[in-house]
Amino acid sequence: MKTTTLALALIAGVSTPAMAQQSATALAPVDVDTAQGATRATIITRDDLRHLAPSTSDTAAILARVPGVAGNTGGGFSTMPVIRGLSEQRLTVLVDGHPIDVACPNDMNPPLSYTDPQTLASIDVITGVSPVSAGGDAIGGVISVKSAAPRFSKDGRLLVTGEAQGYYRSNDGGFGTGLSLTVSGDHLSATYTGSYTKAGNYSAGGGLGTVHSTQYAKTDHKLALAWQGDIGLVELAGGYHHSAYEGFPNQFMDMTGNNSWFLNGHYLGSFGWGTVDLKADYRATDHAMNFLADKGGTADGRMPMNTRVRSGGYTLAVDLPLAVGTTLRLGNEYRNERLDDWWPPVAGSMMMGPSTYLNVNNGQRERIAGYVEAEQRWGDAFTLTAGGRFDRVNMNTGNVAPYSTGMMSMADATAATVFNAVSHERHFNDWSGSLIGHYTPAAGIAIDLGYAHKTRAPNLYELYTWGKGTMSSQMIGWYGDGNGYFGNLNLRPERADTISGSLTFSGGGKQGWFLKLAPYYTHVNDYIDARYVKSLNGMMGMPGPFVQLQFANEEAEFYGLDLSGAATLWNGGQWGQTRLTGTLSWVHGQNLTDHTPLYHQMPLNILASVQHAVGGFTGAVEFNWVDSKTRVDLTRNEPVTAAYALVNLRTAYQWKAWRLSLDVENLFDKAYYLPLGGMALGDYSVSGDTVLRPVAGRGRSVNVGLSRRF
């Protein structure tokens, strides 16, 4: 596979979590051979992450710098990535090669929330057509987050190495640390990684005030053991994630606890006939939601909501070289998820009691998959990869129950009776295929073209949530719009056909120039969107600003263009080098059933940076422009947002193993609203349900980082 590495020195700064959806970074024309020969991916390296981590604790905020990638606002470390208009639920997201299953009706703990930029080694991103070996049960791109590979001593002596980091961010008082430590010999290696981060509510720019429900705190720990010998490499890793709290500015609920532990195993063996790559994992997650102080706190019990998930599986990949330039890949995967989602009664509440509300009762989602893929290389000029894949998805759940069968719960009681009267067992057959070509007709010219048919079955919440009461339905949904959602037992799998390509011109070597144009088109049959049911009334029975919707299959299309480039403006030898980098991303998402714009589509955005490096010093001025968002989903009351421009300054100094950075983001403290931020429900609650506005972007912040490698 040909991959492209991000051209990031310190200068390639990242916006903070609230700004994630409008960031992008130019790519450098560096080609590296990896597993799938015809596929183009972007690799964010450890050096890139080292530059970016002081400005954000949100991995998805860093990903949003890649052209074609945006982010739907979540909590401070829980942005949900979007690739070319397709949301996180439709993407393949892997952490060390393992998926992490859904464990919240608001998707407050997406896979990347279990990672920290402080301790990651690299991130691979495929925005275009991906090979079937990269994953199934998804119709969008691929994000693969990786920890450092095990290191072993080469001279028989004990190897001790690692890195420590710390940072502070002025806007929200955020601070944190990260540590990685490896101790190894010739055959055995042990690596500990850990991080801690904490922040308060951030302040919006231009006097828009505090953005409420944006505080957070979390810690992560991981211990990885590895052994290498004649039979190959064996790895065993275990870890624990704890988040005491995380505010969500665009949800009625906040996360009041998320605890998750995991155990991963990995075997990699190389033989005369081929290679074997086997991964297995198990994860247990216990998740709790309620109200943090901005939304009233929990002194009177408020509204506890709990989710418990136990999941595990394996992936087996076998590569068989058949001839010079010809490789056959075979794979088998298994995934099993068990989910319980229940809302305990609140003492003394007429609405939330006297019984437990069973939202999803013993939800089960099992996936069994297999694929065949072939790759053919004709020298260095042309590579073709073709493959087919089948995923069988089996789903079921038990009967459900409302808080009560009284008048205040009548809508939910009736819905539960209807739900319990029918079979919940569902089976889906997901067929997928891809054909990808890479051609280099001459030095400095590269052409990539791919087609894929991909399929995704609905998740447990899309299929099995059932409550039709105002309050219960508003507890479902990861859209950040305040609307109510409920499931649909008749949903069909999404089926997407995608054509994507790129044309790259480059010259002048590694520090030369390049220009890359990447158009794409995706058509989705049975796209899981939402259909209007009714307006939700307020406490006095009057129509409110929110509506109720049901998940439904519709038809949709996405098309757009990603553009990136870089050039050296001046190379002054001992006086350093100055470079210009830039990206442009544009996507158009349309509901073809209703002939309306699709929800949460990022408007045209541009990022340009002038960067200078001399000796151990690097610095940059960064300009970020985002167009107005006027194509909105009126059914969901999606807000229009105005165009804006931000200026960031970035500096750093490297001395031996030490690195000190100083960044100023949103230099002029510009006021703006996030195009994919949703509605500011935290601010709405603080105002006594009188002021409803979009989520405002972060104001000026001075970020300081210090790190040392050893």
> CA 386, 390, 391 angle in degrees (round to 5)?
135
Judged against a pLDDT cut of 80, whether residue 272 lies above it is answered with: yes
Judged against a pLDDT cut of 70, whether residue 12 lies above it is answered with: no
Q: What value does the mean pLDDT take over residues 54-71?
A: 94
Judged against a pLDDT cut of 80, whether residue 131 lies above it is answered with: yes
The string of DSSP letters for 375-442 reads EEEETTTEEEEEEEEEEEEEEE----B-S-SSGGGHHHHHHHHHHHTS---EEEEEEEEEEEEEEEEE
SS (H, E, C) 585-635: EEEEEEECCCCEECCCCCCCEEEEEEEEEECCEEEEEEEEEECCECCCCHH
Percent of the chain with pLDDT over 70: 94
Model confidence pLDDT, tens digit, residues 582-632: 999 999 999 999 999 999 999 999 999 999 999 999 999 999 999 999 999
Q: What value does the mean pLDDT take over residues 633-649?
A: 97
Judged against a pLDDT cut of 60, whether residue 33 lies above it is answered with: no
**Amino acid symbol at 592:** L
Tell me which of 11-15, 351-355, 417-421 is least confident. Answer: 11-15
Judged against a pLDDT cut of 90, whether residue 572 lies above it is answered with: no
Model confidence pLDDT, tens digit, residues 500-534: 999 999 998 878 899 999 999 999 999 999 999 99
Half-sphere exposure of 4 (CA within 13 A, CB side): 28
Residue 541 confidence class, pLDDT cut points 50, 70, 90 = low
Judged against a pLDDT cut of 60, whether residue 20 lies above it is answered with: no
pLDDT of 281 reads 99
Q: What value does the mean pLDDT take over residues 25-49?
A: 59
Residue 473 confidence class, pLDDT cut points 50, 70, 90 = very high
pLDDT of 539 reads 60
Other Cβ atoms closer than 10 A to 356: 15
Q: What value does the mean pLDDT take over residues 175-192?
A: 97
Q: What value does the mean pLDDT take over residues 65-78?
A: 96
Phi-psi region of 206 (alpha: psi -120 to 50; beta: other; left: phi over 0): left
Model confidence pLDDT, tens digit, residues 350-395: 889 999 999 999 999 999 999 999 999 999 899 999 999 999 999 9
C-beta separation of 24 from 55 below 8 A: no
Q: What value does the mean pLDDT take over residues 27-44?
A: 53
Q: What is the CA radius of gyration of the chain?
A: 25
pLDDT of 38 reads 63
Model confidence pLDDT, tens digit, residues 86-104: 999 999 999 999 999 999 9
**Amino acid symbol at 467:** G
Percent of the chain with pLDDT over 90: 88
Judged against a pLDDT cut of 80, whether residue 15 lies above it is answered with: no
pLDDT of 299 reads 80
Q: Which CATH number fits domain 2-709: 2.160.20.60, 3.40.50.410, 2.40.170.20, 3.30.365.10?
A: 2.40.170.20
The string of DSSP letters for 119-175 reads T--EEEEE-S---GGG-SS-SS-EEEEEPPPP---SSSSPEEEEEEEEEEETTTTEE
Residue 18 confidence class, pLDDT cut points 50, 70, 90 = very low
Q: Residue 382 to residues 376, 385, 443, 677: CA-CA distances in angstroms?
A: 8, 10, 13, 42
Phi-psi region of 680 (alpha: psi -120 to 50; beta: other; left: phi over 0): beta
Judged against a pLDDT cut of 80, whether residue 39 lies above it is answered with: no
> How far, rounded to the nearest angstrom, does the alpha carbon of residue 484 sit from its chain's CA centroid?
23
pLDDT of 343 reads 98
Judged against a pLDDT cut of 70, whether residue 17 lies above it is answered with: no
Contacts of 46 (CB under 8 A, 6+ apart): 120, 121, 122, 148
The string of DSSP letters for 2-53 reads EEEEB--STTS----GGGGGG---PBP---EE-SSTT-EEEEE-HHHHHHHG
Tell me which of 8-17, 239-248, 299-308 is least confident. Answer: 8-17
Q: Structural domain boundaries of the chain?
A: 2-709
Residue 155 confidence class, pLDDT cut points 50, 70, 90 = confident
Q: What value does the mean pLDDT take over residues 672-699?
A: 96
Other Cβ atoms closer than 10 A to 380: 8
pLDDT of 166 reads 97
pLDDT of 300 reads 78
pLDDT of 509 reads 82
pLDDT of 605 reads 97
* Tokens, residue 298: 């929990």
Q: What value does the mean pLDDT take over residues 638-666?
A: 97
Q: Is the dihedral of CA 31, 582, 515, 630 positive or negative?
A: positive
Model confidence pLDDT, tens digit, residues 248-266: 999 999 999 999 999 999 9
**Closest residue by Cα to residue 628 from 601, 604, 647:** 604
pLDDT of 511 reads 81
Other Cβ atoms closer than 10 A to 595: 7
Judged against a pLDDT cut of 80, whether residue 13 lies above it is answered with: no
pLDDT of 590 reads 99
